[in-house]
Amino acid sequence: MGDHHIVVVGGGFGGLQVVNGLKGAGAKITLVDRRNHHLFQPLLYQVATTILSTSEIAWPIRHLFSDRPDVTTLLGEVDAVDTKVKQVTLRNGTTLRYDTLVLATGATHAYFGHDEWERVAPGLKTLEDATTIRRRVLLAFEHAELETDPAVRDALLTFTIVGAGPTGVELAGIIAELAHFTLPSEFRNIDTHKARVVLVEAGPRVLATFAEELSAYAQRALEKLGVETHLGEFVTDCTADGVRMGEKFIPSKTIVWAAGVEASPAAKWLGVAEDRAGRTIVEKDLRAPGLPDVFVIGDTASVMRENGSPVPGIAPAAKQQGEYVAKVIRAGLKGKDAPPAFRYRHQGSLATIGKSAAIIDFGRIKLRGWIAWWIWGLAHIYFLIGTRSRFAVAWSWLWIYLTGQQSARLITQRETIQEKK
Amino acid sequence: MGDHHIVVVGGGFGGLQVVNGLKGAGAKITLVDRRNHHLFQPLLYQVATTILSTSEIAWPIRHLFSDRPDVTTLLGEVDAVDTKVKQVTLRNGTTLRYDTLVLATGATHAYFGHDEWERVAPGLKTLEDATTIRRRVLLAFEHAELETDPAVRDALLTFTIVGAGPTGVELAGIIAELAHFTLPSEFRNIDTHKARVVLVEAGPRVLATFAEELSAYAQRALEKLGVETHLGEFVTDCTADGVRMGEKFIPSKTIVWAAGVEASPAAKWLGVAEDRAGRTIVEKDLRAPGLPDVFVIGDTASVMRENGSPVPGIAPAAKQQGEYVAKVIRAGLKGKDAPPAFRYRHQGSLATIGKSAAIIDFGRIKLRGWIAWWIWGLAHIYFLIGTRSRFAVAWSWLWIYLTGQQSARLITQRETIQEKK
């Protein structure tokens, strides 16, 4: 092993790809994450909606590199980066000297200055977020079954999702299916067919990053599942009783936030410029400006495409950046010329609406309906890490497809804030 | 549906069996549980030790009775029972009038007057207990990897289990295998081979309810896995730093309590006599003394066998009692003679030690080693509810058997007390 020490912070899609790409490079690598697991975020909404179990979409990071003696995995959270002495400080006080640093620390959900909404409208970024949403959705039905006041019961049976990007649309579709197909036979006092699923979006259409025709198809598919869409409406307040959009108030005991993201504070650690969403504005080779030993990639980096549009915050983009940075570092270690500037190749956009509709936008080729749904499913199974998870997820999906019964319907952990009110 | 209203409290093995046995009896049944899921407790230790995922051993109770229009499932916790007006009050204020009441409310772990130990030495009764233990075990290795003080590192790598009944032995065996076989290749700063697993038992032998020869075999199997057993030693204190047994102190950052149980307060709700462990002392037909409309079954009831020994607190005993009570109630509804007094049939005792040894005590026939292990595995898969879980658990076990890799190794939820210290 060489003397060159590469510290990679973040075990998401970008960080893992950097470590993978440095196999055999002869450097010493330390991978730091504040969680012990890599999370397959594209399927997180399925944990929130009782389809998959937590362990089907998350894997212990250190296990992924058990056959890489050059890689040390540490559980820790970055507190500060000192770019002068080239050192990262973790929250527990551990310090790590680096020769090269890669920050791949991702993003979290953002409430546009209304952090107080988080308490009643959780976002979906971690396994805990997913089990929180799952618990609240299931508890709403349980409490409705016991409730005698019709107005409270209706509010308990109204589920509001804020934001109609892929996550919001996916959540709305599955919650509607849960209420309208899975649960009706299990309740005696309430009719879960009457549950309302409300999708609120500030923009003019759902899935705005897709072509208009696919957007329109998705909207029809949502309506067919019984989802109410409210487009062009801004949320002005979220409370334990419902969602306000200007004059309009929707009584709703369960709210999920899928509207905005905010980058990790990588730019602040480095003392460099950030964009409006807090992303570090990087050079064409993904280096932090003025810091040749520091790379910033993935959702925490602001990278522009050649056509001037931003690189989207999706898994394939983070992976491509990770792959690129590994190449740049390898070239540097060998004293070779650096590869040309990073270039993002968009492979297509996918989104599902419930259990049988999906849309795929490959640019020239656009697909929708069940064929898109099958491609979506196969693509996600293909990209899952670990043979066991592939089988387990395929099995869970097949089971639900054949029987219509979700089985990860567990209410676990107590509410810390909600229940005390 | 008839007018007779049967309230069953508790969706464990006993409660479910009562409801199953009342199919077609023509009564209205309300099943109340404070959790939304039935838990297959015999395999809970496998969730705590990263082998199984939570959704593999727990199922939504209301789903089990979706095809039974006579059954209403409610999520609620009993606050009081008024046996004069025959009414159960739930914590949220809901009241349920009953004609017949069955209390199958189970037991929880007990600290023999030292409830303050729970904070540092969690027991294993719920899914949250299991994920708490899983988190603490995994975090201990993570923190040891970062620790520079050798004494603290050794305490982090010492895992103490108090109580050498089946749960304690099963936990000790799997934690030892995790440390000595699964994890060594994944850490760079610590040698997980050196982790100590300590099993403390006040009695003179492990698995004391088994025949002495099987007990001795289990002890040898544990020692082969590297578990230290301390027999005939009473725990006098548990702290965040370790376990004290009189003069002896074992520095240990992770402690699991598997030493004692305490019944739910069913006897107090009813105002009837209880035994030392808080169990309701019931009549020969499992009725509460003086309350012909109230039955108490399972771990919360004290039932004697014909030979004067107590019926053990295990799943088959609760099931037999549930089956019996359903028969008594059916006979009553039809105006027939009640069946003779409850009689417990002991089908045998099973316990496993790690991934390839087990003991089975059928009375005359005693088995040990791999053949016992296979019978144990098949029996548990057979008794799992739901075809999907059977396949899923069989698949998880086969995977671990073939690859040696546990995959439910997730650290989720934050510590609320531990981390603040």
Express each pLDDT in A61-93 by its tens digit: 999 999 999 999 999 999 999 999 999 999 999
Which residues in chain A are contacts of B189 at CB distance < 8 A?
72
Tell me if B21 is assigned to some domain: yes
Q: Do B102 and B146 belong to one domain?
A: no
CATH number of the domain to which B381 belongs: 3.50.50.100
Looking at residues A368-387, what average pLDDT do you find? 85
Gap between the Cα atoms of B261 and B156, Å rounded: 27
* Partner A contacted by B211 (CB < 8 A): no
The single-letter DSSP state of residue B123 is -
Tell me if B140 is assigned to some domain: yes
Q: Do B13 and B146 belong to one domain?
A: no
Instruction: List the strands of the sheet with A366-368, edge to edge.
Output: A349-353, A357-361, A366-368
Tell me if B10 is assigned to some domain: yes
**Cα B23–chain centre separation:** 27
Other CB atoms within 10 Å distance of the CB of residue A115: 9
Query: Phi then psi for A12, rounded to 5 degrees?
Result: -85, -160
Nearest chain B residue to A147 by CA: give it.
B94
Q: Which stretch of DSSP H or E encloses residue A9?
A: strand A5-9
For residue B52, with 0-12 CB atoms within 10 Å meaning exposed, 13-18 middle and 19 or more buried, which class applies? buried
pLDDT exceeds 50 at position A421: no
Tell me if A339 is assigned to some domain: no
Q: Do A238 and A360 belong to one domain?
A: yes
Q: What is the pLDDT of residue B419?
A: 33
Q: What is the pLDDT of residue A419?
A: 33
pLDDT exceeds 80 at position A417: no
* Partner B contacted by A408 (CB < 8 A): yes
List b or e across A263-291, with b for residues whose CB sees 16 or more CB atoms inside 10 angstroms.
bbebbebbebebeebbbbbbbeebbbeeb
Between positions 148 and 207 of A, the ones with CB within 8 A of B are 185-189
Residue type, A271: G
Structure tokens at B116: 């303050």
Instruction: Report whether A219 contacts A237 (CB < 8 A).
Output: no
Q: Which of B278, B300, B333 is the last residue of a domain?
A: B333
Interchain CB distance below 8 Å, B388 and A410: no
pLDDT exceeds 60 at position A1: no
Interchain CB distance below 8 Å, B127 and A72: no
Share of chain B above pLDDT 70, in %: 95
* Partner B contacted by A410 (CB < 8 A): yes
Q: Do B94 and B196 belong to one domain?
A: no
Q: Do B270 and B413 belong to one domain?
A: no
Select the residue from B28, B35, B62 to test the A interface by mutation, using most A Cβ atoms within 10 A. B62
Looking at residues A181-193, what average pLDDT do you find? 94
pLDDT exceeds 90 at position A356: no
Looking at residues A190-197, what average pLDDT do you find? 97
pLDDT exceeds 90 at position A344: yes
Looking at residues B334-354, what average pLDDT do you find? 92
* Partner B contacted by A49 (CB < 8 A): no
Interchain CB distance below 8 Å, A56 and B53: yes
Looking at residues A45-52, what average pLDDT do you find? 90
Q: What is the pLDDT of residue B387?
A: 64
Q: What is the pLDDT of residue A415?
A: 55
Interchain CB distance below 8 Å, A409 and B35: no
Q: Do A225 and A361 belong to one domain?
A: yes
Q: Which sign does the torsion angle of CA B320, B325, B330, B331 carry?
A: positive
Looking at residues A51-67, what average pLDDT do you find? 90
Task: Return the SS3 of A290.
Answer: coil
Whole-Å CA distances, B10 to A365, B7, B76, B102, B302: 55, 10, 10, 9, 17
pTM attached to this predicted model: 0.91
Instruction: Report whether A275 contacts A281 (CB < 8 A).
Output: yes
Interchain CB distance below 8 Å, B145 and A74: yes
* Partner B contacted by A95 (CB < 8 A): no
pLDDT tens-digit map of B16-72: 999 999 999 999 999 999 999 999 999 999 999 988 888 889 989 999 999 999 999
Q: Least CB-CB distance to B412: which of A67, A127, A407?
A: A127
Instruction: List the one residue out of A122, A385, A155, A387 whose CA is nearest residue A257.
Output: A122
- Residues 6+ positions from B417 with CB-CB distance below 8 Å: B119
pLDDT exceeds 50 at position A420: no
Instruction: Report whether B401 contacts B393 (CB < 8 A).
Output: no
Expressed as residue numbers, the domain containing B307 is 5-34+76-109+261-333
How do A5-9 and A71-75 pair as beta strands? unpaired
Q: Do A228 and A308 belong to one domain?
A: no
> For all residues of chain A together, what is the average pLDDT?
92
Nearest chain A residue to B183 by CA: give it.
A63
Known catalytic residue at B170: yes
Tell me if B395 is assigned to some domain: yes
Tell me if A70 is assigned to some domain: no
Active site residues of A: 170
CATH number of the domain to which A278 belongs: 3.50.50.60
Looking at residues A256-273, what average pLDDT do you find? 95
pLDDT tens-digit map of A103-120: 999 999 899 889 999 999
Looking at residues B149-176, what average pLDDT do you find? 97
Q: What is the pLDDT of residue B1?
A: 54
Q: Do B199 and B100 belong to one domain?
A: no
List b or e across A354-365, with b for residues whose CB sees 16 or more CB atoms inside 10 angstroms.
bbbbbbbbeeee
Looking at residues A90-101, what average pLDDT do you find? 96
Q: Do B295 and B318 belong to one domain?
A: yes
Instruction: Report whether A385 contacts A38 (CB < 8 A).
Output: yes
The active-site residue, picked from B170, B177, B201, B274, is: B170
Q: Do B359 and B397 belong to one domain?
A: yes
Q: What is the pLDDT of residue B409?
A: 76
pLDDT tens-digit map of A288-334: 999 999 999 999 999 999 888 899 999 999 999 999 999 999 999 99
Gap between the Cα atoms of A235 and A247, Å rounded: 10
Nearest chain A residue to B129 by CA: give it.
A413
pLDDT exceeds 90 at position B410: no
Gap between the Cα atoms of A130 and B102, Å rounded: 36
Looking at A386-390, B101-105, B241-245, which range is the least confident one? A386-390
ipTM score here? 0.88
Interchain CB distance below 8 Å, A60 and B92: no
Q: Determine the distance in angstroms separating the CA of A261 from the nearest CA of chain B, rounded to an integer.
A: 22
> For all residues of chain B together, what is the average pLDDT?
92
Q: What is the pLDDT of residue A334?
A: 95
Interchain CB distance below 8 Å, A142 and B388: no
Q: Which stretch of DSSP H or E encloses residue A358?
A: strand A357-361
Q: Do A129 and A255 belong to one domain?
A: yes
- What is the tally of structural domains in chain A? 2
Q: Do A203 and A139 belong to one domain?
A: yes
Tell me if A41 is assigned to some domain: no
Looking at A204-208, A407-411, B183-187, B317-321, which range is the least confident one? A407-411
Band of the pLDDT at B413, cuts 50, 70, 90? Answer: low
Q: What is the pLDDT of residue B286?
A: 98
pLDDT tens-digit map of B290-311: 999 999 999 999 999 988 889 9
How do B95-97 and B100-103 pair as beta strands? unpaired
Q: Is pLDDT larger for residue B347 or for residue A78? A: A78
pLDDT exceeds 80 at position A281: yes
Looking at residues B265-279, what average pLDDT do you find? 96
Tell me if B97 is assigned to some domain: yes
Between positions 98 and 127 of A, the ones with CB within 8 A of B are 127
Interchain CB distance below 8 Å, B410 and A54: yes
